[in-house]
Amino acid sequence: MRYRLVIFDWDGTLMDSVARIVTCMQAAARDAGWGHLEEAAVRDIIGLGLPEAIDRLCPGIDAERFELLRSRYAYHFVEGSRTPMPFFAGVEAGIARLRELPARRLAVATGKSRRGLDRVFRESGSGAWFHASRTADETRSKPHPQMLEELLVELDVPVEEAVMVGDTEYDLEMARALGMDRVAVTWGVHAPERLAASRPVYTAVAVEALFDWLAS
């Protein structure tokens, strides 16, 4: 068994939610009077906590407009958007495969809020897949390693027996800060060469290949 604990990022790694995030952030910025946000800029901040993402997208934004943009993003994401958010093909089967392995633990470390992650757990029926999870509003935003530190303590797994799986440099650098192994996936938002700078132990170019590697 390669690792006792596999920690997954959510958006862009397990769930194909990037298009929804982009369109909702763009709509929120327009609602708040900030103007147009380029798609590439919004894709770049996926994985960060929402406050950190807004600060990066809208430098110098005042407190009132910040709160308006944040509330409008929540509205569009939960109620206003009909952009689908399926799991990437093969994810559900891959997770089920890992869950069958003895003594294997699965967790989520995400830039979502707790409310947002619990909502998607309920809507997708995926909450029971994982033994633990951490969100950006419970700890600190990626790439700070606090959420990983807390997951290791909660699940009583040493860092050398855990791996972080993600599609952004924020995921990989969070793990790198702890000396945790990290796996890059290339179907998300950051380019393979950008992910390579974080020195992943493996780079998956297909979902099936990822789970083959994790299960070996």
Q: Is the pLDDT of residue 136 over 90?
A: yes
Q: Are strands 132-135 and 202-204 parallel, antiparallel or unpaired?
A: unpaired
Alpha-carbon distance of 167 to 204, in angstroms, equals 10
**Residues whose CB falls within 8 Å of the CB of residue 204, separated by 6 or more in sequence, listed in order:** 183, 184, 185, 186, 210, 213
pTM over 0.85, yes/no? yes
**High-pLDDT (> 90) share of the chain, %:** 94
Q: Is the pLDDT of residue 81 over 90?
A: no
Alpha-carbon distance of 6 to 144, in angstroms, equals 18
CA-wise closest residue to 109 among 160, 152, 74: 152
Residues 19-57: b if buried by 16+ CB within 10 A, e if exposed: ebbbbbbbbbbebbebeebeeeebbbbbbbbbebbbeeb
Do 18 and 188 meet the contact criterion of CB atoms below 8 Å apart?
yes
22-50 mean pLDDT = 96
CATH class label, 5-16+86-215: alpha beta
Half-sphere exposure (CA, 13 Å, Cβ side) for 61?
Answer: 22
Positions of CATH 3.40.50.1000 in the chain: 5-16+86-215
**Of 42-56, 69-83, 132-146, 196-210, minimum mean pLDDT range:** 69-83
What's the topology of domain 18-80? DNA polymerase; domain 1 (1.10.150)
The one-character DSSP state at 87 is B
pLDDT confidence bin for 1, thresholds 50/70/90: low
Which positions are annotated as active-site residues? 9, 11
Positions of CATH 1.10.150.240 in the chain: 18-80
Rg from Cα positions in the chain? 17
